[in-house]
Structure 1
Amino acid sequence: MSETQTAEARAALDAVGQLPDDEIDLAATALQLARIDAPQCDWRAATMDLSLLARAAVDAATAAPAADGGDLAARRAVLAGVLHGEAGFAGDDQTYEDPANANLLQVLERRRGLPVAIGILWLHAAEAAGWPAHGLDFPGHFLLALEGQRGQLVVDVFGGGAALAAPELRALIKRVEGEKAELRPGVLAPMGRRAVLLRLQNNIKLRRLRVGDLAGALTCAEDMLRIAPGEAPLWREAGLMNQRLERIAAALTAFERFLAIQSDGPAAAKVRDIMAELRQRLN
């Protein structure tokens, strides 16, 4: 991708950062994030793929009266048929740590991805069909909920769109956190669109940190801040990464943004101490 195209993508992310959460186009924003990280991929073709996926969801919904009438089990079956059946998407449990699994452009090309990446495609298709749905902040494993008048149906998008009731959820949290883990309040907390995008990008950031690519992780964090400029912990993290990279002025700027959002508490006090030390180094 040329510098102009990268600038265009980042300008689009800056615009998303100013939108209310419910106005964010989840899949389109994920494509802009992916466009920066995978310039070799054809993002225009991917945009067309998303349109075709939405059209398929609409057609399938129209052909399923029970689903269109509010039957959540029927809606789950329709979306699973479109995404995992017709389109062939699946969770990648063979090369799970591959960063491509969190890049929506590459997910669309490979038809494989992480739970949150596949989940974004589910949310995109559900919205096209006119069916309310949202992400769930389940520990270590992104889930999705289809919403109905009498409650919600939890879906494991990584597992082919299987419905999960309490026994399956309990087994899943034990698999993620260990045998002593149990279901608790908050494990099925709904996620906003911005939070889903941050969870997607956090996978890339963490993978870069694991291989020692601090500069790449910082770039990822900076793009995350474009869509979520009010995310105080992320400003603090960007400040710490800039500090480690000896980018003192950038570190101070990030810490100042953190304090503008979160001025009280132990973390704020620690940041002030770090800033005092960094300013001494500038003198």
Structure 2
Amino acid sequence: MRTEGELRALVSLLADEQEGVARAAWDELLGAGQAAVPFLEAAFDDPDPRLRGRVRALLEELRLEALELQWRRLAQKDDDALDLEEGCILLAALGGTVGRERAVASFLDAVAGSVRAHMPAVGGLRAMGEVLFENLRFRAGEMGNPEHHFLPSVLERRRGIPIALAAVYILVGRRVGLPVYGVAMPDHFLAMYAEADRPAYVDCFNQGQVYRYETLSRILSRRGVVAPERVLSPCSTRVILYRMLGNLERLYTGVGQSRMVGRVQRWREILVVKGRP
């Protein structure tokens, strides 16, 4: 383990004009992990632009390494113990939105309170639709907009891609004890409200449009899906997070962020259990 004096010296060497020396210092500090963070933060606003730039880049790398460790811990849990909200928060942090856990939880709690207040009069399914899509006006977002992928910004802007809006639906519904799940369609993502007699499939990307099993089964059959009943079954939290990462991989590929593509691919691999999500 490096001493405090050694860590301070290594930070100063990040500005060395000899690239090999600076690279070696970078590697040593990266290997020191979180122990190096206070010394890097002390140089965050250093007047030397070379040092300042490398310090900030290394702090971001260490942040992502620590975040990946949290992701590994989450992925090691059994499917029943995987927390969708925690996973969405970690994905948002991967995209650069940090420190929003309490704000997200407070917002979802408040929305759940509104749903709970509506339920005695209209029932759970209708209460969810009225609150989320009529009152709060959650609407379809753009696949190419990062803010429409990540839960904190989806809640703030009320715009999201299908799976992000479905995640909002699920997280709110579960807060009030409703039987809500995700449904991983081949090229779309729905929420399911598992009513006792027949499930309702909610297209959160289409202002909460409700479909019944028979309708979706016919659509899938016409598209050549062999076993629509499997596609229309609830999927696990692991599958939801895996699909979210797939969307992020396509997003970062489209904008040429190869390092983020590599990190997202690694997160997908971490999430895989026994060869499948």
Indicate the TM-score class for this superposition, using the shorter chain for normalisation. 0.5 to 0.7
- Offset at 1:140? 0.6
The code of the aligned residue for 1:187 comes to V
- Offset at 1:150? 2.4
Is contact 2:220–2:228 with CA below 8 Å preserved after alignment? no
Q: 1:54 aligns with which of 100, 109, 112?
A: 109
User: Which structure 2 residue ranges, 5 or more long, are not aligned?
Assistant: 1-58
Q: 2:236 aligns with which of 186, 192, 205?
A: 192
RMSD: 2.8
Counterpart in 1 of 2:150? 103
The code of the aligned residue for 1:77 comes to R
Q: 1:204 aligns with which of 232, 248, 265?
A: 248
Secondary structure of 1:186's counterpart equals helix
The code of the aligned residue for 1:136 comes to V
> In the TM superposition, what whole-angstrom CA distance separates every residue of 1:28-85 from its partner, at most 9, and x where no partner exists?
2111111111x2x3x3345413322223213422442256xxxxxx322211222223
Counterpart in 1 of 2:27? none
The code of the aligned residue for 2:139 comes to A
Query: 2-side partners of 1:180 and 1:199: how far apart?
Result: 21
> In the TM superposition, what whole-angstrom CA distance separates every residue of 1:222-249 from its partner, at most 9, and x where no partner exists?
12233x1426368xxxxxxxxxxxxxxx
- Offset at 1:171? 8.1
The count of residues paired between Structure 1 and Structure 2 equals 218
Q: 1:26 aligns with which of 66, 84, 88?
A: 84
Counterpart in 2 of 1:230? 273
Secondary structure of 2:192's counterpart equals strand
- Offset at 1:146? 0.9
Query: 2-side partners of 1:141 and 1:129: how far apart?
Result: 26
Query: 2-side partners of 1:47 and 1:149: how far apart?
Result: 34
Secondary structure of 2:199's counterpart equals strand
The code of the aligned residue for 1:25 comes to D
The code of the aligned residue for 1:184 comes to P
Structure 1 residue 125 corresponds to structure 2 residue 125: no
Secondary structure of 2:73's counterpart equals helix
Distance 1:171 1:107, change over 3 A: farther
Max Rg structure: 2
Query: 2-side partners of 1:2 and 1:217: how far apart?
Result: 16
Distance 1:219 1:7, change over 3 A: closer
User: Which structure 1 residue ranges, 5 or more long, are not aligned?
Assistant: 68-73, 235-283
Query: Identity over the aligned pairs, expressed in percent?
Result: 22
- Offset at 1:219? 0.9
Query: 1-side partners of 2:259 and 2:61: how far apart?
Result: 18
The code of the aligned residue for 1:138 comes to M
